Structure 1
Amino acid sequence: MRRAIDRVVDRFGCLDIVFGNAGIGGGAGFLGLDGSANAGGEIGSVTDELWDKVLAVNLSSVFATIQSAAFHMKKGTGGRIIITTSVASFRNQTWVGTPYMAAKAGAAHLVRQMALELARYNITVNAIAPGALPRW
């Protein structure tokens, strides 16, 4: 991420806005959309590999994006950072996989923390939190 943002700054001279819009699913939730139990989505079924992959894409990449963008924006007149989180970051969704829920909640908290830290540099950090509505 740092190299990609460095290349943008090298080419255009500054960085005004970044939109971090990466994400992957975290497997099934512990309940199906009809409310029935889903053993494949229970905590005991979450593999280390799935957990690590979902947190890498949905949380660690957000950190890398904000960190890389802020590095350049702090040198200039500020900027805007927008991150896609999810409604899953602030409300329970039993049909959504646990790794996704944890990662998106972490991303939302990271956005709030970075908004406070970077405000003094005229850098705003905001989140967009889309979400699907299940058919009941």
Structure 2
Amino acid sequence: MNRLANRTALVTGGSRGIGEAIVRRLAEEGANVAINYTSPGSFEKANALRQQVEEQFQIKAMVVKGNVGIKQEVDQMIDEVEKELGSVEILVNNAGINPFEPFLSLSEETWDKTYQTNVKSIFLTSQRVAKNMIQKKYGKIINITSTASTVVTSPVVPHYISSKAAAAHLTRALAIELGKYNINVNAVGPSTIATDMCEDYLADPEILEKEIEANPMKRLGTEKQIGDAAVFLASDEAMQVNGHLLMVDGGLTVKAAQPEDHMDHEAAIR
């Protein structure tokens, strides 16, 4: 408890799923948290979360709107956070999308939107907050990637897989460039987690069973486990951890794939 007392954190895509869990764990450890949201529908969830963590953990929290793939909105968002909570010391780049479209029918629009959300957002937010982190000689940047950062997880999301691999390598590049300023840049790679983003996918009992069976731990991960990993990387306990991709996947990415691990194309996009 209180490993992050009085630190200022910003979580992109923080209103639900993994982002929500990360917000809760950062707040539990004493950080003041800005919860980023984009759509009007996510505002209600973000604001409810803000109220809950403020009351439960006695910290300061705020909600802040912004499409993190657009520079103008990122600048405005971080201006608001700095004005209310102070300069961002912990940045968690959690916002991400995973539209299921096979390669041969994949649209240019989906490709561009995926890279804008999953990769460009990390560039824009990290570049902006790093400037103040350099002045303070302190900062933690944590990117939420995926098992898809290291292995091909599905044959129908080449845009998602390649974007997450790019995010992982961007993490390493930033770690090298920013490390001399006492800024740690790391990533967390979850395996499949039953969030609302995966709700339709995991609604098929056969797919759910195959996902569980393919994992060496014979279970899915949880949002809280990703929050726990983010807290560790944000804490002083991880001061010498830099440029690392922390896989929270039950050992999935170190297991050689077997034919029965894979779903056919049609089942995966139902």
For the superposition of Structure 1 and Structure 2, which TM-score range results when normalised by the shorter chain? Answer: 0.7 to 0.9
Measured in 1, the distance between the counterparts of 2:133 and 2:156 equals: 35
Give the counterpart of 1:50 among 110, 114, 130. Answer: 110
Q: TM-score when scaled to structure 1?
A: 0.82
Determine if contact 1:26/1:96 at 8 Å carries over to the other structure.
no
Cα RMSD (Å): 1.7
Question: 2:159 maps to what in 1?
Answer: 99
Measured in 2, the distance between the counterparts of 1:6 and 1:126 equals: 24
Q: TM-score when scaled to structure 2?
A: 0.43
Determine if contact 1:22/1:58 at 8 Å carries over to the other structure.
yes
* 1:125 Cα deviation from its structure 2 partner: 0.6
Task: Between the two structures, name the one with larger relative contact order (CA 8 Å, sep ≥ 6).
Answer: 1
Question: 1:20 maps to what in 2?
Answer: 93
Q: Which runs of 5+ in 1 are unaligned?
A: 29-40
Question: 1:9 maps to what in 2?
Answer: 82
Give the counterpart of 1:81 among 111, 119, 141. Answer: 141
Determine if contact 1:26/1:98 at 8 Å carries over to the other structure.
no
Determine if contact 1:85/1:128 at 8 Å carries over to the other structure.
yes
Q: Which runs of 5+ in 2 are unaligned?
A: 1-73, 193-209, 213-260, 262-270
* 1:96 Cα deviation from its structure 2 partner: 4.6
* Greater C-alpha radius of gyration: 2
Determine if contact 1:14/1:76 at 8 Å carries over to the other structure.
no
Q: Which amino acid aligns with 2:211?
A: P
The size of the alignment, in residue pairs, is 123
